Amino acid sequence: MNQQPSKVVTELRKAGKLDEAWNVGCPAVQQNPHDNYLKGAFFWVCYAYLKQVQEPIKQRGQTRGNFQPNQTELDRINFYIDWIRWLSIPPGGFEYRSLLLLFQKNLESIPMLVLLLFTYRTTLFEPEDKAPYQSDRGESPSLMLTFVRKVARAWMDNKIVQQISIADLRQLFAQVRREAKDKQHIIWLDYDEAKCLIFSGNLETAREFMALRRFIWISGCL
């Protein structure tokens, strides 16, 4: 009996035969667009290719302090992100969170990925992603707080990301305030939101928002 395409794709990927996995999975997933097992198997092929692209970017970043992909790398990333968007993997698994973890150093430089992850923002995080990192040098921002700050930066820098409305962006800010456990760095979220409001032309709303947040800061210190 012939193996299911999803199993063939997975076995080829795990054997390191990505091109073969792609050659099997690409036509199969187009012929069977409702096969969630096959779509999941093909997602991890795309992820493996993305990991290959990201690896030299991370190596450069560790020495130069700049994790921005060059245009050739960005084109390759966008190619696989387009496929992942087409797959429409249901939320709730590890797929989208895995993409965030892979690109957490340079998410703001990849507008199409920002849009994709924003779509799944309400189911993107595990409980541990909402807690700040603790070390001998103090508290570092949680993955959740880091994500929203990168989304805000990308939103102000890139017209593609500006497909997100200011109202939806503010809902993300509100979600992070409700759920993130950060204490030391959470104040930067207020400045990010105010800058986004100003950027969008909502000057009066920005003034009212900052006045409210200052009152909350002062009240919390009393």
Helical H segments across 65-186, by residue range:
71-87, 95-102, 111-119, 143-157, 166-179
Structure pTM? 0.91
Q: pLDDT digit string (tens) for 82-114?
A: 999 999 999 888 999 999 999 999 999 999 999
pLDDT tens figures, 194-222? 999 999 999 999 999 998 887 666 665 53
pLDDT in tens, 22-74: 999 999 999 999 999 999 999 999 999 999 999 999 999 888 888 999 999 99
Q: How far apart are CA 203 and CA 199, in angstroms?
A: 8
Determine the pLDDT at residue 63. 86
DSSP string, 164-181: S-HHHHHHHHHHHHHH--
Task: Report pLDDT for 106.
Answer: 96
